[in-house]
A and B are shown apart, each in its own frame.
Chain A
Amino acid sequence: MQQQNYSWVPLFPERASSFAWEVDALYFYLVAISVFFTVLIVALIFYFAIRYREKEKFKSGAEIHGSLLLETTWTAIPFVISMTIFLGGAIVYYNQYRPPKDALEIYVVGKQWMWKIQHPTGQREINELHIPVNTKIKLIMTTEDVIHDFYIPAFRTKGDVVPGRYTTIWFEATKTGKYHLYCAEYCGLNHSGMVGWVYVMEKEEYERWLAGNVSNQTPVEVGKDLFEAKLGCASCHQQNDQGRGPTLVGLFGKEVKLNNGQKVTADEEYIRNSILNPQGQIVEGYQPIMPTFKGQVTEEQLVALVAYIKSLGTQPQSNATVMTASR
Chain B
Amino acid sequence: MENIKAIETRETKVNYLNNGYSIWSWLFTKDHKRIAIMYLISVSVFFLIGGLYAAAIRLELLTPQSDLFETGTYNKIFTHHGIMMVFFFLIPAIPATLGNFMIPIMIGAKDLAFPRINLLSLYIYWLGGIITLWALIKGGVDTGWTFYTPYSTTFSNGYVVLAGLGIFINGFSSILTGLNFIVTIHTMRAPGMTWFRLPLFVWAHYATSLVMILGTPVVAITILLVAVERIARIGIFDPSIGGDPILFQHLFWFYSHPAVYIMILPSMGVISELIANFSRKRIFGYEFIAFSSIAIAVFGFLVWGHHMFVSGQSIYAGLVFSFLTMVVAVPSAIKVFNWTATLYKGQISYDTPMLYALGFIGLFLIGGLTGLFLGSIGLNVHLTDTYFVVAHFHYVMVGGTVLGYLGGLHYWWPKMTGKMYSEFWGKISAMLIFVGFNLTFFPQFILGYLGMPRRYAAYPPELQVLNIFSTAGASVLGVGLVLPVIYLTLSLVLGKKASANPWLLPGLEWRTSSPPPTENFEETPVVTWEAYEFSEDNGLDIEKAKQELATA
Choice from A66, A83, A160 contacting B326 with Cβ under 8 Å: A83
Tell me what chain A mostly uses at the interface: helix, strand, loop, or mixed. Answer: mixed
Asked if residues B344 and A182 are in contact (CB atoms below 8 Å), the reply is no
Contact B330 A71 (CB under 8 A): no
* B456 x A192 contact (CB < 8 A): yes
Task: Please tell me if the beta carbons of A61 and B534 are within 8 angstroms of each other in the complex.
Answer: yes
Contact yes or no, B450 A10, CB < 8 A? yes
Min Cβ gap B552→A in Å is 15
Query: Within the assembled complex, what's the spacing in Å between the Cα atoms of A192 and B463?
Result: 14
Q: Are A158 and B458 in contact (CB under 8 A)?
A: no
Complex formed: what's the CA distance from A228 to B27 in Å? 75
- For residues 84 through 139 of chain A, which have their beta carbon under 8 Å from a beta carbon of chain B? 85-86, 88-98, 112
Q: Is A157 an interface residue (CB 8 A)?
A: yes
Whether B329 sits at the interface, judged by CB under 8 Å, is: yes
Contact A89 B377 (CB under 8 A): yes
Q: List 29 A-B contacts (CB under 8 A).
A: A13-B451, A23-B378, A27-B379, A30-B369, A41-B336, A45-B361, A54-B280, A54-B348, A55-B347, A61-B279, A61-B346, A62-B346, A66-B284, A70-B285, A71-B338, A75-B333, A86-B377, A89-B322, A89-B378, A93-B322, A94-B315, A147-B148, A147-B150, A154-B451, A165-B239, A186-B75, A188-B156, A189-B142, A192-B458
**Is the C-beta of B71 less than 8 angstroms from some C-beta in chain A?**
yes
Q: In the complex the two chains form, is B455's CB within 8 Å of A54's CB?
A: no
- Residues of the B chain whose Cβ atoms lie less than 8 Å from the Cβ of A153: 382, 386, 450-451
Against B, the Cβ 8 Å flags (1 = close, 0 = not) of A146-167 are 1101010110111110111101
Interchain pairs with CB closer than 8 A, number: 292
Complex: how many Å from CA A17 to CA B369?
27
Contacting pair B451 A151 (CB below 8 A): yes
Set A10, A59, A167, A193: member contacting B463, Cβ < 8 A? A10
- Which residue of B310, B340, B349, B456 is within 8 Å of A159 (Cβ)? B310
A291 close to chain B: CB less than 8 A: no
Asked if residues B446 and A11 are in contact (CB atoms below 8 Å), the reply is yes
Beta-carbon contact of B385 and A149 below 8 Å: yes
B345 touching A64 by the CB < 8 A rule?
Answer: yes
**Nearest B-chain residue to A187, judged by Cβ:** B151
Question: A112–B350 contact, CB under 8 A?
Answer: no
Provide the residues of chain A in CB contact with B144, threshold 8 Å. 186
- Is A258 interfacial (CB 8 A cutoff)? no
Alpha-carbon distance between A192 and B66 when the two chains are bound, in angstroms: 9
Shortest Cβ distance from A20 into B: residue:
B382
User: Contact: A26 with B385, CB < 8 Å?
Assistant: no
Residue numbers in B under 8 Å from A64 (CB-CB)? 281-282, 284, 344-345
Q: Which residues of B contact A (CB under 8 A)?
A: 66, 71-72, 75, 142-144, 146, 148, 150-151, 154-156, 238-240, 244-246, 279-282, 284-288, 309-312, 315, 318-319, 322-323, 326-327, 329-330, 333-334, 336-338, 340-341, 343-350, 358, 361-362, 365-366, 369-370, 372-373, 375-382, 384-386, 446, 449-451, 453-460, 462-463, 465-466, 504, 534-535, 542, 546
- CB pair B281–A92 under 8 Å, yes or no, is no
Report whether A52 and B450 are in contact in the complex, using a CB–CB cutoff of 8 Å: no
Count chain A residues whose beta carbon lies closer than 8 angstroms to a beta carbon of B. 89
A53 within 8 A of B: yes
Instruction: Give the CA-CA distance A10 to B466 in the complex, in Å.
Output: 9
Q: How far is the CA of A280 from the CA of B230 in the complex (A)?
A: 25
Sort A-B residue pairs by CB-CB distance and give the 5 closest, nearest first: A153-B451, A92-B378, A164-B239, A61-B281, A89-B376
Contacts A30-B373, A38-B366, A54-B348 given; does A90 touch B319 at CB 8 Å: yes
Using CB atoms, name the residue of chain A closest to B449. Answer: A13
Expressed in whole angstroms, the Cα–Cα distance for A158 and B379 within the complex equals: 11
Q: Are B312 and A74 in contact (CB under 8 A)?
A: no
- Whole-angstrom CA separation of A167 from B312 in the bound complex: 6
Query: Given that A61-B279, A82-B330, A156-B382 are known contacts, is A185 also in contact with B361, CB under 8 Å in the complex?
Result: no
Contact (Cβ within 8 A) A48 B245: no
Q: Which of B287, B344, B379, B451 contacts A92 (CB 8 A)?
A: B379
CB contact under 8 A between A184 and B453, given known A23-B378, A38-B369, A90-B319: yes
How far is A326 from B333 in the complex, measured between Cα atoms in Å?
56
B286 touches A65 (CB 8 A): yes
Chain A residues with CB under 8 A of B380:
89, 93
In Å, the complex CA distance between A71 and B326 comes to 18
Chain A positions 155-183 with a Cβ under 8 Å from a chain B Cβ: 156-160, 162-165, 167, 180, 182-183
